[in-house]
Amino acid sequence: MNRQAQSVVMFLVGAALLHAGLSGLYLRYVKAALQPLLLASGAVLVVTALMTLWYERRRRHAPEEEHGHAHREPRVSWLLVLPLFALILVAPPALGSYSAVRTGTALQKPYAYEALPKSDPLPLSVVDYAGRAVYGHGRSIAGRRLRITGFVALDRGGAPYLVRMALNCCAADAQPVKIALTGHVPPVLEPDTWLEVTGAYTARQTRDPVNNGPIPYLDVTGARPVPTPHDPYDETWNQ
């Protein structure tokens, strides 16, 4: 691989990063807050590749005595192209019920609780509801009609959970936060189906069979399937 080929690969990697950052594909890999850094990295790679190509073209047309001895990199360096093809051709699905039921709930005690709007129903994330229900003992949400969106996961006994994968940085560190469902739960639930659930706080809790972590219940009054959200991960984690 000569320097021109290296520049082409660098340009393609930068263009792929820009495409992922602008199209929303990056949300399958990292949290939304990292989009500016991703776009900046892609832009730097593209500009660097173009400048390198310009320099090489200029050097080729320079007088013979200005030419240095070119060194070729090992052919194995072409393997650097494989991650590029993986990024462009294979967009992995967001983590779902398979990972959720095999990983213990990762619910953590929030640093603080933000003031809630007076909306009815009150929209909450899975992480926010679980934190307020377990560690806030429902004081801020008791008596409110709540609306929560997540995907369905069924444990080995068929018990339904409403789940959202929470992440700190990227999909590699995503972990599930779960809400157990009771009340008017739909009789037939398919794993990985996204639901918008309406319900109310209940003090009832259970323990995760994987890590014995706390899982609060939600008393369901209604549920309807919804499309997979643009950003399938929950970023209220650790806020």
CATH number of the CATH domain containing 146: 2.40.50.140
Residue 1: partners with Cβ closer than 8 Å, 6 or more residues away: 9, 72, 73, 74, 75, 77, 78
What is the predicted pLDDT for the residue at 45? 82
Q: How far apart are CA 105 and CA 126, in angstroms?
A: 12
**128 neighbors 218 (Cβ within 8 angstroms):** no
Residues 58, 109: one domain?
no
Look at 79 and 200; give whichever has higher pLDDT.
Answer: 200
| 114 or 64, which is more confident | 114
Do 85 and 177 reside in the same domain of the chain?
no
202 & 179 share domain: yes
- Confidence class for position 55, pLDDT limits 50, 70, 90: confident
User: Could you read off the pLDDT of 134-171 as tens digits, one per residue?
Assistant: 999 999 999 999 999 999 999 888 899 999 988 776 66
Cα dihedral value 138, 140, 146, 149, nearest 10: -80
> pLDDT at residue 69 above 60?
no
Domain count, the chain: 2
pTM, to two decimals: 0.68
Using only C-alpha atoms, what is the Rg of the chain?
Answer: 24
Which pLDDT belongs to residue 239?
A: 44
The amino acid occupying position 239 is Q
> Does a structural domain hold residue 15?
yes
Q: What letter does residue 219 receive in the DSSP assignment?
A: E
Confirm whether 230 is domain-assigned: no
* Whether residue 110 sits in one domain with residue 79: no
107: tokens are 């619910």
Q: Dihedral (C-alpha) 122, 123, 125, 127: value to the nearest 10 degrees?
A: -10
**Residue 137 DSSP label:** T
| Cα(123)–Cα(148) distance, integer angstroms | 6
The residue range of the domain holding 176 is 97-225
Tell me the one-letter amino acid at 155. Answer: D
At 178-210, the pLDDT tens digits run 999 999 999 889 999 999 999 999 999 999 999
Average pLDDT over every residue of 91-117: 82
Same domain (yes/no): 59, 156:
no
Highest averaged pLDDT of the listed ranges 9-23, 92-106, 183-197? 183-197
Looking at residue 33, what is its pLDDT?
Answer: 65
Rounded average pLDDT over 48-64: 73
Whole-number average pLDDT of the chain: 81
